[in-house]
Amino acid sequence: MGIQELGNQKTTTQTTTTTLVFTYGTLKRGFSNHVLMQDLIRTGDAVFKGAYRTHQPYPLVCGPYRVPFLLNLPSAAGSHRVAGELYAVSVRGLSRLDELEGTSRGHYERLPIALDKPPPRALDTSINLWL
């Protein structure tokens, strides 16, 4: 499915806290689970922030059910900088994404990772991802 959370970039408005989330798999536009992102946008639980890519190269693997996931092996052989989409997501939206990703069942976990905005402009933060 492929999501990464920008853990240290939480923004707070008068009533909402959002977390920046990087999607690199089926949640991206044009893929099977993007309908969830569209629903989160429609309900005000997500805002598209732009196209980004991982700062370091990572292996992107396609599982047996055609579900892509990243391996936490930065710069391993066969790795590349992974392109994806960045969203600001509400607490409620993040809960729905965690449910999809199976975080509570141990299917994925969020870990720190860095992003760049193409053309290369570093995003000065750490990101978490579901592996």
Question: Looking at the annotation, which residues are catalytic?
Answer: 101
CB 119 within 8 A of CB 59: no
- Of 36, 46, 43, the residue nearest 2 (C-alpha): 36
Hey, what's the torsion of the CAs at 23, 27, 28, 33, to 10 degrees? Answer: 180
